[in-house]
């Protein structure tokens, strides 16, 4: 299945997965960009944003759990976030944390909060519509991880 065919399925979990990748890239870039500010609260939120980007990477690209040397506890916790409801709640929590960065002052972390929120909404819509989670084959879903073992 090509990327175009994946998007044509109208499955919100596919949209959520690709928005998750965008969230990961934005969180990483904005976390680094905001870590060099004078405001201590923004530095803390940017570090949280950086950590969140790596968590998203392992959530959205399951192939990495087999390739990267991680602890069994970390792997078990990441594997718990497998349903659409769990993914929606994980992204909602990360979005809320980034929205809380507005308490200190407005920064570019708002962009990460917006994209994380949209990703959470996509996964929530997939869960409400009863769509099963379908991992993108491009990102290592649908049996690709089993092929390398």
Per-residue 3-state assignment (H helix, E strand, C coil) for 123-137: HHHHHHCCCCCCCCH
73 within a domain of the structure (yes/no): yes
> What integer pLDDT is reported at residue 145 of this predicted model?
40
Length of the chain: 149
> For the residues 57-83, what does the mean pLDDT come to?
83
124/85 Cα distance (integer angstroms): 6
Domain interval for residue 91: 22-137
pLDDT tens column, 4-48: 665 566 778 888 888 999 999 999 999 999 999 888 999 999 999
Q: Does the residue 11 lie in any domain?
A: no
Residue 1 covered by a domain: no
Judge whether 8 lies within some domain.
no
Provide φ and ψ at 81, rounded to 5°: -90, 70
| Mean pLDDT of the residues in the chain | 83
Q: Please tell me the pTM assigned to this model.
A: 0.83
Q: Count up the domains in the chain and report the number.
A: 1
Q: Is residue 107 part of a domain?
A: yes
Q: What is the pLDDT of residue 143?
A: 46
Q: Is residue 132 part of a domain?
A: yes
Quote the tokens at residue 47: 């570090």
> What is residue 30's predicted lDDT score, i.e. its pLDDT?
93
Kindly state whether residue 82 falls inside one of the protein's structural domains.
yes
The pLDDT of residue 140 is above 60: no
Nearest to 14 by CA among 140, 148, 123, 95: 123
């Amino acid at each position: 299945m090509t990327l175009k065919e994946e998007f044509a399925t109208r499955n919100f979990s596919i949209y959520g997965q690709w928005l998750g990748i965008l969230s990961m890239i934005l969180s990483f870039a904005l976390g680094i960009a905001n870590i060099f500010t004078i405001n201590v609260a923004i530095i803390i939120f940017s570090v949280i944003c950086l950590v969140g980007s790596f968590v998203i990477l392992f959530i959205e690209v399951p192939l990495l759990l087999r390739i990267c040397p991680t602890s069994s506890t970390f792997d078990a916790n990441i594997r718990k976030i497998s349903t659409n409801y769990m993914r929606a709640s994980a992204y909602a929590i990360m979005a809320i944390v980034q929205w809380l960065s507005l308490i200190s002052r407005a920064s570019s972390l708002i962009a990460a909060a917006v994209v994380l929120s949209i990703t959470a909404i996509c996964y929530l819509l997939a869960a409400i519509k009863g769509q099963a989670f379908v991992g993108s084959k491009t990102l290592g879903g649908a049996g690709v991880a089993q092929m390398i073992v």
